[in-house]
Structure 1
Amino acid sequence: MQFATSKDGTELAYDVSGSGPALVYITGATCFRRFLPIVSDVKLFATEFTVYNYDRRGRGASGDAQPYAIEREVDDIEAIIDAAGGRAILYGHSSGAALALEAAARMPEKIDRVVIYDASYVHDEAEQVSYARLAERVRDRLAGAENGRAVRTFLQGIGMPRVFIALLPLFPGWKTMKALAPTLMYDIAITEILPPVDRFTGIQVPVQVVVGEKSPPELHQVARALADAVPHSTHRMLAGQNHMVSAKALLPILTDSGANG
């Protein structure tokens, strides 16, 4: 475990694995760098890349300076890129995909290309309303110190498979997941808006917008809107994949440096 320091002084824990081009892995909600599905992903990605797998702020061994702001999470990504030598490829999943796009818009000189999977913005105003209700339920669970229930409420609300939610308490990382439950409000802050396509038209690095064939239809709509907006982008649908994408299915896209729209 190593540490990088963000602009606001937050210490960010990260691990480095593999060899090859630097790849920063930006995880989604309820994930942290030692979570078994993330460890499994990194193991495969490390066959082609030097993977920088970090705990987003408020998670695992990372700090959490307040108040929270999306811009601070983008600062965190920059700190990890700097730790990787000043340039990297970004891979973002779910809310992490939205952060990857924010980073691409802000610091193109430090990013070679971006791959995003199932960017989890709300897709229309009706979903914004229902998502706000979900946010309130999660906030209530957290206020009552019901962290485990908050995690399950959130995951059920965004349509995660029931069998996955039911098995969560059996995961070795469940205790850590419950501890980082307050960061669900960070993920909600990132994804409660419609895709900011007007801003993303200025992204000047290659972006591969990927969505799972079996992912919710709303995420397909978001993916298409992003691919239409970002100038140097490609749009791909991964056959047979849902939100819990297989690293094996994703790896050929990560290694495809020629897709630039």
Structure 2
Amino acid sequence: MFTVTSADGTEVRAHDSGSGPVILIVPPGMDDGTGYRKVAAALSESYRVLVLHRRQYRLDLPSPCSFADEIADVKAVVEELGEKALIFGHSSGGYLALECLAAIPKAFYAGAVYEPPVPLDRLAGGEFLPAAQRAVAAGHPGKAMQIFTRDMVGLPPWQARLIGVLVGLFPKMRRMAPRQIADVAAMDALGFRLSSFQSLSAPVLLIGGDRSPRHLDARLDALSRVLQNSDQVVLRGQGHSAQSGAPQELAAAIAAFYSRALLSA
């Protein structure tokens, strides 16, 4: 386990494996880092891989937290490493990775993101966020996650209902669900940030699945038009959870991109 102290005194934790050039993985919502074990295992054959246990999803820490808090955590990690890295983030972790590239650009050779919900015509939570927050406050995390997955992510209603039921059944998911809604609120607090990524000069790999909701593909396309130096990869047969559906394929895409970025650095 890799640990370091963030600017406000909070201990930052990351699972540490492998050796070589560093890849820092910033997981998506509802993930304490364990969802990326298979991807990390594949990458650690050639790289040192740090999988961040994001502050937003640390059940031992108070909630909510801001993106500024999590950027500070990433800054503490890379300063402790003392070397440049590649940062990879998934979903809200991908949005956070982009913000880290903008805030501390000298820390990274390159970045890669999987379907970050960078807002285009509306915020990630938007008009649906208050209803989800009320459900959390009323002690109904399953209902909050149903609102999140149906109205914010865009999953079919039947699938959103199933996720709501599962959240109600599993204690860890019940405890993590309010953190997911807090994560959306943290993203919404940033406002519309697409144009701010025009200044990024580091190469960025945009990864998506061809079975994901179409609005996620539209966000990747918008990022490709804004970023100075980007490439895109589509994982066939995958949706928003390629870390579990195709971990080897996802790891291979990240590794190949990082190899090219290191050669051109």
Q: TM-score, normalised by structure 1?
A: 0.84
Match status 1:135 vs 2:129 = yes
Match status 1:159 vs 2:159 = no
- Give the alignment's Cα RMSD to 1 decimal: 2.7
Q: In 2, distance between residues paired with 1:60 and 1:17?
A: 20
8 A Cα contact 2:39 2:247, kept in partner: yes
Q: In 1, distance between residues paired with 2:163 and 2:76?
A: 33
Q: In 1, distance between residues paired with 2:63 and 2:78?
A: 20
Report what 2:239 is aligned to. Answer: 242
Q: In 1, distance between residues paired with 2:142 and 2:115?
A: 24
Report what 1:104 is aligned to. Answer: 101
Q: In 2, distance between residues paired with 1:84 and 1:149?
A: 41
Instruction: Name whichever of 7-16 and 89-98 sits farther off.
Output: 7-16
- How far 1:110 moved relative to its partner? 0.8
Match status 1:176 vs 2:176 = no
- How far 1:206 moved relative to its partner? 1.0
Partner-residue secondary structure (3-state), 2:49: strand
Alignment of 1:46-195 (within 5 A): 46-60=44-58, 63-64=61-62, 68-125=65-122, 128=123, 131-157=125-151, 158-160=153-155, 162=159, 165=163, 168=166, 174-192=170-188
Partner-residue secondary structure (3-state), 2:57: coil
CA deviation map 1:90-129 (0-9, x unaligned): 110001111111111111211111010111123324xx4x
- How far 1:53 moved relative to its partner? 1.2
Q: In 1, distance between residues paired with 2:229 and 2:2?
A: 33
Instruction: Name whichever of 114-123 and 151-160 sits farther off.
Output: 151-160
Partner-residue secondary structure (3-state), 1:211: strand
8 A Cα contact 2:17 2:50, kept in partner: yes
In structure 1, runs of 5+ residues without a counterpart are none
Percent sequence identity over matched residues? 25
- How far 1:52 moved relative to its partner? 0.7
Report the CA distance shift for 1:167/1:228 in structure 2 as closer, same or farther (over 3 A): same
Alignment of 1:30-45 (within 5 A): 30-34=30-34, 37-45=35-43
Q: In 2, distance between residues paired with 1:159 and 1:28?
A: 16
- How far 1:62 moved relative to its partner? 5.8
Report what 1:231 is aligned to. Answer: 228
8 A Cα contact 2:142 2:168, kept in partner: no
- How far 1:60 moved relative to its partner? 3.3
Paired residue type of 1:199: S
Partner-residue secondary structure (3-state), 2:202: coil
Q: In 2, distance between residues paired with 1:82 and 1:146?
A: 40
8 A Cα contact 2:59 2:175, kept in partner: no
Partner-residue secondary structure (3-state), 1:180: helix
**How many matched pairs?**
252
Match status 1:20 vs 2:17 = no
- How far 1:229 moved relative to its partner? 0.7
Q: In 2, distance between residues paired with 1:62 and 1:113?
A: 31
Report the CA distance shift for 1:177/1:13 in structure 2 as closer, same or farther (over 3 A): farther
Report the CA distance shift for 1:65/1:10 in structure 2 as closer, same or farther (over 3 A): farther
Partner-residue secondary structure (3-state), 1:9: coil
Paired residue type of 2:17: S
Q: TM-score, normalised by structure 2?
A: 0.83
Instruction: Name whichever of 55-64 and 228-237 sits farther off.
Output: 55-64
Paired residue type of 1:135: L
Q: In 1, distance between residues paired with 2:8 and 2:117?
A: 26
Q: In 2, distance between residues paired with 1:21 and 1:64?
A: 33
